[in-house]
Amino acid sequence: MKGVAIIGCGAIGTLLAEAIDGGEIKAKLIYLYDIDESKAVELASKLKQKPKVARNINDILEDKEVDIVVEAASQKAVKEYLKSVLDAGKEMLVMSVGALLDPDLKKLYEKHRDRVHVPSGAIAGLDALKAIRLVGVKKITLITRKPPKALKYSQYLTNKKIQKPTLVYEGPAEEAVKLFPRSVNVAAALALYSDAPVWVKIIADPNLRNNIHEIHVESEVSEIKIVVKNMPHPQNPRTSYLAALSAIALLKELCKRQ
């Protein structure tokens, strides 16, 4: 049985911990870690498996029982811990996928694709992109529409009052994930799965209750258009519920491997 450590005890980290604790994911939950230790302590107290609360990342890195480290915290956590996790011989499931568009981290990802795992997140069609990558993807455009409250954390929108559907960003995925680090991980997933540039448009729409991602792919093989309408996570409106479920599905699959 695989040993798992979870970094980040917010909405997604909690769902993953509960999926392991309830037996949906066949694994042993060994550690919980959060920069706010009280969150990890509180979550651990609710679980039957009673995982340990890590004092720091070294507790996780030095424990040979830990096979898979799940990042459910932030891009900063990926930047701080990915190399150390890989150097310790462990695998990492990355939720804050935007971090992997950083040039140095992207090199690590490309070198260790077998040990750095990216869930499909809040979109569909990534299996097709992996196939098309064999002949080359010409162009990908992502149009993301979200309620303003899901974007207001970004300093990019600090002084903007959104009263009608408004294009708040248009540009490359690499810049989008810096300006909206919690909102467009899907752009990074598209870039990583396709090995192609992704052009991103972000629209803040006060009329919306859910998040909508519209993906356009052009290639020699086919033209693809995908529209995914997601309900926001009930505990975190910046995260699509589907993103959390995709992480559960991927971790479940990883834990089946020998």
Annotated active-site residue 112? The verdict is: no
Considering only CA atoms, which of 148, 124, 125, 130 is closest in space to residue 230?
124
Q: Around Cβ 190, how many Cβ atoms within 10 Å?
A: 28
**Torsion sign over Cα 30, 36, 39, 41:** positive
| Dihedral over alpha carbons 242, 8, 91, 240 (to 10 degrees) | 10
Q: Measured in whole angstroms, how far is the alpha carbon of residue 219 from the centre of its chain? A: 26
Q: Which of 112, 117, 213, 233 is catalytic?
A: 213
DSSP bridge pairs for 27: 2
CA gap 6, 162 in Å, rounded: 36
Active site residues per annotation:
213
